[in-house]
Structure 1
C-alpha cells in the first residue's frame, strides 16, 4: 500500500471514529449536528448537550491523545526504544501523585500543570537514576518505569484513602474521565500544549541526526545533551499538562508511535506528526468504547480505564519483538552470607518474635508511646498481627516457589500479575452477586490467580521466559486487569472506598476467624511446599538435571504453580492484594545465607512475616491517629527495594 493510500485510510478511520463518537454522545441527526457546528443557535437540551458536551469532549480527546502521542514519539526517538512512553517510564504516575498530594495539602494548586510537571520530572529522574543512560535502550527502562508506576500509584491511592471524603472527586478525574460540560477545559489546555509542539518542531533535524547514532550525530556537529534535555522537557510537559487536564490516560504514548512506524513513518518529522494524529485517533477510539460501555453500565465509564486495558494488550503484543542481549541478561540474586548457620537462624527467629511482641504491646497514644497489656486492646491487635504475619509468610513462600520454577529472581505473585488476577475475579464476582468484597471467596481468587499465571506463561514462551521480559509482561497484564477493576471504582461511592481499602491490603477489618483462616492457609502451604522439597530443588537446578533424576517435569511444574497460586489466592481472598513482599522475602532470605531450598522455605516466610508485621505496626504509629494500610506500607518498602535491585544492574546493561 502506498503512503498516500495509508494516509487516506487513516483519515477515513479518524472521520469514522469522530462520527461514531458524536453519535454515541448525543442523540441528534447528522444534519442537525452540521448546522450546530456551522454556528446555528441551540434550540433545545439535545442541541445544548451537543454544543457544550459532545463537541468539547471530542476536541479534548483529540488534544490529549495528540499530546500523548507526540510525547511518546519524542521519548522513543530520543532513547531509540519502542517500549518507552509517559506511562511505561512512570512519568504519568509521577504527575498524578504530585497532583493528588497538592489537592490534599494545597487545594488551590490541584489543577496546576507546574505541580504535575514537577512530579513527572521526579519520576523520570528516578527511572534514569535506576537504569543509567545506557539502560534506556532495552527493557530495563520500561521495567523500572512500570515499577515506579506501581509504587507511585500505591502512594496516590493511599493518600486518597487517608484523605477521604475530601478526595472523592479525585477518583473519577484520576481514572481519566473526558466528560465535559463546557469549552473552558479545552480552551485551558490548548495554549498550554503549544510550547511542547513548538519544541518538537524545532527538534526535527536533531532527531533525524540521532537516527544515525549518537557518535555519527556528534561527528556532524550536534551536541547531544541540549537536544536530549529539550526533548525530555517537551515530552514531560506534554504528559504533565495532559494529566492535569483529564487525569491518568495510559499507553496512548506507547501505541501511537509504534503504529506510526508500522504505517511507514521513517523520518523524524513524519513520525512526530503521524504519532500525534494516531494518538488522537487512539484516544477517540478508547472514548468511543467508554461511551458504548456507559450505555450498558449504570456508572460512568472512565476513558482512562478503557485506554489502559487496550494499551496493556498492545504492550504485550509489542513485546513479541526479538530481545536484545541485555534483555536476556540474568538478574542474579543478591550476594549474601554463604550459609544461614544455626546462630543466625536463632537470631532471626528471636527478632521476628520481638517484632511481633512489639506490635502487640507497644503503640502510640495522644500522650506518646505506651506499653499496654489491656486485654481489650490486645483482642483487637492480635488478629491483625497474626493476619499480617501469615500474609507475609504466604507471599514470601509463593515468591520462593515462582523464583525457583521460572528461575527468575524478579518473579513474585504481584509482579507476574497473579494478585491482579485474583483481585479482578473477586471484584467481578462481588459486583455480579452484589455481595461484600470482604467475604472470603478462595475458589474465585484461585481461579483468577491461575488464569493470570497461565496467560503470563503463554505470552512469555516466545522469549523463553527471559527474566526482564516475563516481569514486564506480568506488569502489563496486571495493568490491564487493574483497568478492568477501575471500571467498577470510578463512581467514588461508599462501595468504591470499601474496595479501595481492601485493595490496599489493610488488616483493619481482620477479625479472629479470618486471622485464623489465613493462618491455616499459610500453614497448609508451608506443609505442601515442604513435601515438594525434592521437586523444587531439582527444578531450580535445571530441566536436564530434573529429568535425569526421574522427575516428571510437566506435572510437577503444574502442581507447584498451582500451589503458588493457591497461597496467593488465600492472602488475596482474606486480606486483599499484597505487593512486593513475594519479591523481597526470598531476597532477604538469600542475604541471610538461605541459598538452599530447604533453608529458603524456613527463612523466606520468616522474613516475609517480619516485613508485614513491621508494615502493619508502622501503619498504626507513623501518622497516629490515622492508620496506614499494611499492604500500602509494604508496597512502598518493597517497591523501593525492587528499584534498588534494578539499579544494581546499572553498570551491566
Structure 2
C-alpha cells in the first residue's frame, strides 16, 4: 500500500480543524502529564488546579513538574521542525537527526567535552554538540554522495555512523565511570528538571526555529522542483542548503545539550504531518513542530506512568523509542518506493585468493598473533616476552574466548549475507544480537545472575530466533531487499534496546552484574567457559561447511537452487537456525559485539575469497584475529584501565567499514 492509497482511505481534516485537534490534544494531555509528575498525588487526588501555596507539592510543581512539561513541548517542537526541514531538503522521508547520525555525533561531541573540558561544556557545550552533529552528517553525505542523499544510502550511512559514534561515546563513558555516571542517564534522554535553568537556557536558542518557519518555505518549495529547477528560478542552491542544514542541526544540538538523546520524534512528525494533509512547505513545518510537541509530551507521560509502575527512573528517550521504532517499521514497509531500495556495495577486490596472497596473509596473521601474546604493558612500561605463569593462566581463557567469538560472528555474518543476498547483513545490524541480548537479560532478571551460565545460551537462541522470524515476516513484502532488511533490523534493534533499558531499571544488583557483559567483555571469562565456547563455535562452523553447496546455490538465486534439486525452504531454514545458534552461543558468553559480523566477510571477499568455502574459513580467521587485536588494545591502550573487547572491536571494525564506504564513493 502506497501513500496515495493511504490518502484515499484516510481523508485528512481541513487545515484549521487539524491545528485545533492537535492543540486540543495537547490541552488534554498537559493536565495528565502534570498529575503524573507529582510524587505524592494518588489518582483520586488528581486535579486540574495546582497545589496549595507553601506546601511541598507546590514546590515540586513549580520547580520540577511544570518545567518538565514546558521542556517536553520545547524539545518536541524543535525536533519535529528539524526533522521536517531535513526531509524537505533531502526529499527523503526517512531523514531525521537520528537516522543521519547527527544525534549520535552531537552526543559524542558533548560527552567528550563534558569529560575532558567540563568548564567549556558548562558554558559552550552546545557548540561541541553542533560540531559533532556537523561532522556526522558531513561523513554521511560523503559516503552517500550527492545523488544518494534522497535515497537509502544516506540513511544507511547515518545508521552506521550512529552505531559507531555510539560505541565510541560508550567506550569513553566506561573508561571514565566515576565522572560519567550522570551522563549515562542523560545519554538515554532525560526530561527531568529541578528548576527553570534549562528552560531559560533553551528557549532563546530555539528562536532560530521561528526564523526557519518564516524564511525556509520558499527555498524548500523551489527545491521540490529539483536542483536545476530551483537554480533556474534564482535560488543559490549551496548557500541556502548549507544555511538550512546548519539551522536544523543547531536545533538538534541545543535540544540534545539540554535533555540528551531523544530519537524518532524528528522522523515521525513530518510523515504524520503529510499523512494529516500538510501539503505546503510552511504548513508542514508548522504542523510538524506542533506534532513534535504533542508526541514528546505523550511519550513523557508514558515515561512518568512507567516510573510510577516500576518505581524506577526510566529515561524519556526509551518511551519515545517505544513509539518511534514501530513507526520506522511501518514507514520502511509502507512508504518506500522502488528508488529507495538501493543497496550499498563495497569496492571490488581481488578475483581469487592465490597462494602468494594467502602466504602473506598467514605470515602477517602469525606476526600479529605473536605480537599480542608477547608485547604487553606493565606498571614499569612496555615489556616484550612470554607472560608469567600466573598471568598466562588468567589471560589464555580470554584470548581463546575472543578468537572463538570473532570466528563465530564472522561466519554468522557471512552466511547471513549469502542467504539474504544482502551485503549489509550482519547479526548486529539485523537485530539478532539485540534479540539475544534482551532474552539473556530477561532470563537473568527472572532466574538471577547465578543461573546465567545455565539459562543464557537457551535464552539467547530463542531471542535471536524470534528476531529472525520477524525479519523474514517484515521483509517478505519487498522480497528481502537489502535496504529494507537493514531498516527493519535497525528498527527492531531500537525497540529491543528500549525494552532492555526498561528491563535494566528493574534489575537492581542483577543489572549491575550485567553491565560488563553488555559491553562485550572478556576479562571475567573463566577457563571452562572459554573452552565450551570454542568447542561450540568449532562444531557449528564445521557444520556450516557441510552446507556449503546449499549456501552457494541459495546465494545465486532460488530459481537456480530449485533447478539443481535443492529444497530451498528447508535449506534456508536450516542455515538460518545455524546462524541463530552461532549468534546465541557467542552473545550468551561474550555479550553484544557490533560490526565484526559485517566486516570480516567483506575483508575475506576483498582479499579474493569469492566462493563460499574460501570466504567462510578466511572470514573465520579474520574475525578471530580482529578480536585478538581488540583484546590486546583493550587491555594495553589505557593501562591500567581496560576497555571491553566488544567496544574496541566495534570501533575498529566500524572505522574500517566507513573507510571502505568512503573509498567506494571517492572511486
* TMscore range, shorter length: over 0.9
Q: Structure 2 stretches of 5 or more lacking a match?
A: 1-12
Does residue 413 (structure 1) correspond to residue 427 (structure 2)? The answer is yes
Question: Given the superposition, is the C-alpha separation of residues 461 and 32 from structure 1 closer, same or farther in structure 2, using an over 3 Å criterion?
Answer: closer
Q: Which residue of 2 aligns with 1:575?
A: 590
Distance 1:25 1:57 in 2: 9
Residue 103 of structure 2: aligned partner: 92
- The 5 A counterparts of 1:401-440 are 401-435=415-449, 439=453
Mapping of 1:239-318 within 5 angstroms?
239-318=252-331
Q: Pick from 9, 13, 24: which aligns with 2:21? A: 9
Alignment equivalent of 1:188, drawn from 201, 221, 225: 201
Is the alpha carbon distance of 1:354 and 1:289 closer, same or farther for their aligned partners in structure 2, counting shifts above 3 Å?
same
Match for residue 6 of structure 2?
none
Query: What pairs up with 1:480-629 in 2 under 5 angstroms?
Result: 480-489=495-504, 498-629=513-644
Q: Give yes or no for contact 1:161–1:497 (8 Å, CA) kept in 2.
A: no
Q: Tell me the residue number matched to 1:140.
A: 153
Bigger Cα displacement from structure 2, 285-294 vs 364-373: 364-373
Query: Per the alignment, in what secondary structure is the counterpart of residue 296 of structure 1?
Result: helix
Kindly state the Cα deviation for residue 31 of structure 1 after the two structures are TM-superposed.
11
Matched position secondary structure for 2:403: helix
Matched, 1:56 2:64: no
- Partners of 2:96 and 2:451 lie apart in 1 by 34
Report the alpha carbon displacement of residue 511 of structure 1 after superposing the two structures with TM: 1.6
Q: Structure 1 residue 18 and structure 2 residue 33: aligned?
A: no
- Structure 1 residue 109, shift from structure 2 partner: 3.0
Residue 121 of structure 1: which of 134, 137, 140 is its match?
Answer: 134
Q: CA deviation at 1:242?
A: 0.5
Alpha carbon RMSD of aligned pairs, Å?
A: 2.2
* CA–CA separation in structure 2 for the residues paired with 1:515 and 1:478: 27
Contact kept in structure 2, 1:130 and 1:644, CA below 8 Å:
no
In 2, Cα distance between the equivalents of 1:208 and 1:439?
Answer: 59
Q: Structure 1 pair 32/368, CA: closer, same or farther in 2 (3 Å)?
A: closer
Closer/same/farther in 2, CA of residues 491 and 126 from structure 1, 3 Å limit = farther
Gaps of 5+ in 1: none
**Do the aligned partners of residues 29 and 602 (structure 1) sit closer, same or farther apart at CA in structure 2, a change above 3 Å counting?**
closer
Query: Residue 16 and residue 578 in structure 1: after superposition, are their counterparts in 2 closer, same or farther (change >3 A)?
Result: same
In the TM superposition, what whole-angstrom CA distance separates every residue of 1:495-554 from its partner, at most 9, and x where no partner exists? 655433222211111121111111012111111101112211211121111111111111
Which moves more between the two structures, 400-409 or 329-338?
Answer: 329-338
1:400 aligned to which of 391, 414, 427 = 414
Q: Quickly say closer, same or farther: Cα 1:491–1:276, change in 2 above 3 A.
A: farther
Scaled by the length of structure 2, the TM-score of the pair is 0.93
The question of whether the paired residues in 2 share the 8 Å contact of 1:161 and 1:500 is answered with no
Rounded to whole Å, the distance in 1 between the matches of 2:135 and 2:510 is 33
Deviation, structure 1 residue 350: 4.2
Q: Which residue pairs with 2:648 in the alignment?
A: 633
Return the match for 2:86 from 55, 75, 94. Answer: 75
Give me the whole-angstrom Cα distance separating, in 2, the residues matched to 1:322 and 1:178: 31
**In structure 1, C-alpha distance between the alignment counterparts of 2:46 and 2:601, rounded to whole Å:** 65
* d(CA) in 1 for partners of 2:257, 2:399: 40
| Cα distance change, pair 107–448 in 1 and its aligned pair in 2 (3 A) | same
Q: CA deviation at 1:243?
A: 0.5
- Relative to 1, partners in 2 of residues 1:648 and 1:103: Cα closer, same or farther, differing over 3 Å? same
Alpha-carbon distance in 1 for matches of 2:265, 2:635: 39
Deviations 1:102-149 (A, max 9, x none): 121012233421111111111111111111222110011111111111
Contact 2:436 2:464 in 1 (8 A): yes
- In the alignment, the residues of structure 2 paired with residue 475 and residue 540 of structure 1 have an alpha-carbon distance, to the nearest angstrom, of 23
Take 1:161 and 1:327, find their aligned partners in 2: how far apart are those partners? Answer: 38
What's the CA shift for 1:602? 1.3
Q: Deviations over 1:68-101 (max 9, x none)?
A: 0011111111111111111111111111111111
The number of residue pairs the alignment matches comes to 649
Listed as ranges, the matches of 1:327-342 within 5 Å are: 327-332=340-345, 334-342=347-355
